[in-house]
């Protein structure tokens, strides 16, 4: 591959539902970064190429620059569909679907997501983070937790995703704190004790969660609890419900949490309350590592 | 009281967060009905009187017309605050807070809501339905379920509300089916079997609910389930979670469901699956009966 005269060897792209991020890369090192709010949701099929070029044009040289992209860009409604691969399988196949671009300076590959037939589940983007984590921690055997809008839990064994489950915890927290009656109660800030108490209550009596959500509003009206306490309590109830459902995943297992720092810390704290120590890896770094591992494989195959 | 020459004896008003309903009444009979979208949420304190008069003006005669109102109109942000009464207590006190109106043709009384100190909980409006139900069923001893945006469960004994709990089930269903990723999966229609299955799964394993919400989306993508099935399944999971939390309320008790017909039928069906037979009473009729019982008491006191 070229790379001497040009700005970068290749470009890593994480193209999700609501945002697009791109990194100019030299091998596994970031040279430059760019982002926009042009998520998959906001684009028609014909718009993807232009939106990407607007972002990465400054990085392109005279030669062909490989672009490796993951996320909802590969969905049916995305740029080019990269059909789901079925678990159990390795999170990354070392290949993807080539996109037919008009601009001949880029060679774009879109990575497929994963699906599970029973219980039905899907992911797009998280498989790349998992692949990145396994690329950097090749012997890992245990459970990966990827907190986010739709948190994923995956069981990893012998370099494969054996099974996974998705949770709407992040989206529920956003909707409940911004659009439900709890919007009057929940605000900025945090309360470690309120979070710990809510997680613990929920794990010991998971059937009680539904009764405790509206009580956050009532506690504001009757007991004037702070917005920070309400936020931590809501988060604790929802993460507690997720941990109650995933107990077979995390109980007695090696765990790594891959995500944004602040949210990951809540998960790690909640697990610690159950006596479980989880490792942490930053989500974007794992995404780039996953994309790099595929880029490497593609480059070797081309040589 | 007057009533011969005038259009009605008194006016019943149910003034909630998002809507206002009024009934022109002769004793306990409806003479006319009017409604508007001027809920408490959309009004400043000075606007309530004008909005009410716009609706009920045609019904006013030469004498003084009593107006009895329940709901969020009595909240701190409402027309005139009617402070919560603490349970245990009868759902209706037979009195309320008199509103200072400019128009001398009406005498407006706003009914207070109920509060519970531990666990913290509040209601405004539902106490009037409960009072109406007890007015019509004076010997009732058991549990009342009032499905809605924020479903209430109340334990009734010796004509008093002993305890109650609120559930955000209705609001969560609306948010998840209209604003979350499930909006692509959930639509009109219904599927009795999917509902029954979801309720039953949730009641037998309440800790598993969080894992099954996103699966509705995955089931659409992978198995092409219908929007009606998705709607019934989402409803079944959420109502199932509520029934899991309220089991101590409904197990082995006499139960009446007070609510809108379609939603109440789902609750009655879910309870029936657990071997519990629930009675049904229509919500608006119960509201009017409760308001009528207070109107009667106020009239007798005035004579």
Residue B7 has pLDDT above 90, yes or no: no
Residue B279 has pLDDT above 50, yes or no: yes
Q: How many domains does chain B have?
A: 2
Residue B144 has pLDDT above 50, yes or no: yes
Would you state the pLDDT for residue B6?
63
Please check whether residue B1 lies inside any domain of the structure: no
- Could you say which of B181, B222, B238 has the minimum Cβ distance to residue A150? B181
Q: What is the DSSP letter of A76?
A: T
- Asked if residue B214 and residue B104 are part of one domain, the reply reads no
- Asked if residue A213 and residue A133 are part of one domain, the reply reads no
Residue B152 contacts A where some CB pair is shorter than 8 Å: no
Residue B251 contacts A where some CB pair is shorter than 8 Å: no
> pLDDT for B45-62, tens place per residue?
999 999 999 999 999 998
- Asked if residue A19 and residue A135 are part of one domain, the reply reads yes
- Hey, of B146, B167, B168, B204, which one would you mutate to test binding to chain A, going by the most A CBs within 10 A of its CB? B168
Please check whether residue A264 lies inside any domain of the structure: yes
Q: What is the mean pLDDT of residues B268-295?
A: 97
Would you state the pLDDT for residue B127?
98
Would you state the pLDDT for residue A6?
63
Residue A171 contacts B where some CB pair is shorter than 8 Å: yes
Q: What is the mean pLDDT of residues B37-51?
A: 95
- Asked if residue B222 and residue B207 are part of one domain, the reply reads yes
- Chain A CB contacts of B74 under 8 Å are none
Compute how many other C-beta atoms are within 10 angstroms of the C-beta atom of residue A98: 13
Q: How many CB pairs under 8 A join A and B?
A: 132
- Asked if residue A264 and residue A295 are part of one domain, the reply reads no
- Asked if residue B278 and residue B291 are part of one domain, the reply reads no
Would you state the pLDDT for residue A269?
98
- Asked if residue B268 and residue B223 are part of one domain, the reply reads yes
> pLDDT for B213-266, tens place per residue?
999 999 999 999 999 999 999 999 999 999 999 999 999 999 999 999 999 999
Please check whether residue A157 lies inside any domain of the structure: no
Would you state the pLDDT for residue B5?
47
- Short-list A128, A157, A152, A127, CA closest to A142: A157
> pLDDT for B111-136, tens place per residue?
999 999 999 999 999 999 999 999 99
Q: What is the DSSP letter of B83?
A: P
3-state secondary structure of B60: coil
- Asked if residue B290 and residue B275 are part of one domain, the reply reads no
3-state secondary structure of B79: coil
- Short-list B119, B93, B142, B169, CA closest to B257: B142
Bridge partners (DSSP) of residue A164 are: A154
Task: Tell me whether residues A218 and B166 touch, CB distance under 8 A.
Answer: yes
- Asked if residue B188 and residue B79 are part of one domain, the reply reads no
Residue A86 contacts B where some CB pair is shorter than 8 Å: no
CA distance B135 to chain A (A): 28
Domain that holds residue B181: 166-282
Q: What is the mean pLDDT of residues B181-203?
A: 97
Residue A213 contacts B where some CB pair is shorter than 8 Å: yes
Would you state the pLDDT for residue B265?
98
Would you state the pLDDT for residue B174?
96
Please check whether residue A82 lies inside any domain of the structure: yes
Cα distances (Å, whole numbers) of residue B251 to A252, B206, B272 = 36, 16, 12
Please check whether residue B184 lies inside any domain of the structure: yes
**For residue B218, what is the nearest residue in chain A, using CA coordinates?**
A121
Interface confidence (ipTM) of the complex? 0.93
Bridge partners (DSSP) of residue B282 are: B259
Domain of A83, CATH number, reads: 3.30.420.300
> pLDDT for B166-178, tens place per residue?
999 999 999 999 9
Would you state the pLDDT for residue A4?
42
- Asked if residue B112 and residue B83 are part of one domain, the reply reads yes
- Hey, of B120, B176, B183, B238, which one would you mutate to test binding to chain A, going by the most A CBs within 10 A of its CB? B120
- Hey, of B180, B186, B214, which one would you mutate to test binding to chain A, going by the most A CBs within 10 A of its CB? B214
Would you state the pLDDT for residue B2?
42
Please check whether residue B64 lies inside any domain of the structure: yes
- Could you say which of B207, B214, B238 has the minimum Cβ distance to residue A168? B214
Would you state the pLDDT for residue A7?
86
> pLDDT for B76-117, tens place per residue?
999 999 999 999 999 999 899 999 999 999 999 999 999 999
Would you state the pLDDT for residue A127?
98
Query: Where does residue A265 rank: exposed (0-12), middle (13-18), buried (19+ CB within 10 A)?
Result: middle
- Asked if residue B112 and residue B102 are part of one domain, the reply reads yes
Between β-strands B121-123 and B114-116, what pairing exists: parallel, antiparallel or unpaired? antiparallel
Please check whether residue B269 lies inside any domain of the structure: yes
Mean pLDDT for each 10-residue chunk of chain A (303 residues)?
A: 65 96 97 96 95 97 95 96 98 95 97 97 98 96 96 97 97 96 96 98 93 96 97 98 95 96 97 96 98 96 82
Please check whether residue A133 lies inside any domain of the structure: yes
- Asked if residue A273 and residue A293 are part of one domain, the reply reads no
Measured CA to CA, the distance from residue B210 to residue A241 in angstroms comes to 6
**pTM of the predicted structure, to 2 decimals:** 0.94
Q: Give the mean pLDDT of chain B.
A: 95
CA distance A67 to chain B (A): 27
Task: Tell me whether residues A221 and B246 touch, CB distance under 8 A.
Answer: no
Domain of B204, CATH number, reads: 3.30.420.310
């Amino acid at each position: 591959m070229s790379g001497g005269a040009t700005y970068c060897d290749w470009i890593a792209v994480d193209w999700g539902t609501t945002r697009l991020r791109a990194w100019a890369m030299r091998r596994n090192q970031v040279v430059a970064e760019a982002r926009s709010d042009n998520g998959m949701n906001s684009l028609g099929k014909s718009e993807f190429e232009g939106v990407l070029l607007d972002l990465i044009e400054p990085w392109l040289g005279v030669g062909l620059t490989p672009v490796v992209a993951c996320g909802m860009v590969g969905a049916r409604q995305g740029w080019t569909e990269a059909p789901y691969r079925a678990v159990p399988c390795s999170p990354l196949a070392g290949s993807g679907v080539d996109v037919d671009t008009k601009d001949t300076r880029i060679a774009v590959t879109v990575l497929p997501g994963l699906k599970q037939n029973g219980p039905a589940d899907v992911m797009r983007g998280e498989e790349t983070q998992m692949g990145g984590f396994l690329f950097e921690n090749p012997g890992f055997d245990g459970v990966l937790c990827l907190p986010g809008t739709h948190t994923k839990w995956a069981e990893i064994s012998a370099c494969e995703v054996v099974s996974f489950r998705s949770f709407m915890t992040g989206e529920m927290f956003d909707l409940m704190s911004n659009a439900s009656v709890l919007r009057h109660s929940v605000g900025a800030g945090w309360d470690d004790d309120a979070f710990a108490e809510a997680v613990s209550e929920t794990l010991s009596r998971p059937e009680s969660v539904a009764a405790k959500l509206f009580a956050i509003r009532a506690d504001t009206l009757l007991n004037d609890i702070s917005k920070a306490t309400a936020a931590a309590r809501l988060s604790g109830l929802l993460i507690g419900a997720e941990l109650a459902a995933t107990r077979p995943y995390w109980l007695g297992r090696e765990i790594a949490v891959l995500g944004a720092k602040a949210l990951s810390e809540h998960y790690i704290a909640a697990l610690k309350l159950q006596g479980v120590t989880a490792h942490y890896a930053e989500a974007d770094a794992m995404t780039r590592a996953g994309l790099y591992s595929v880029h490497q494989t593609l480059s070797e195959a081309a040589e």
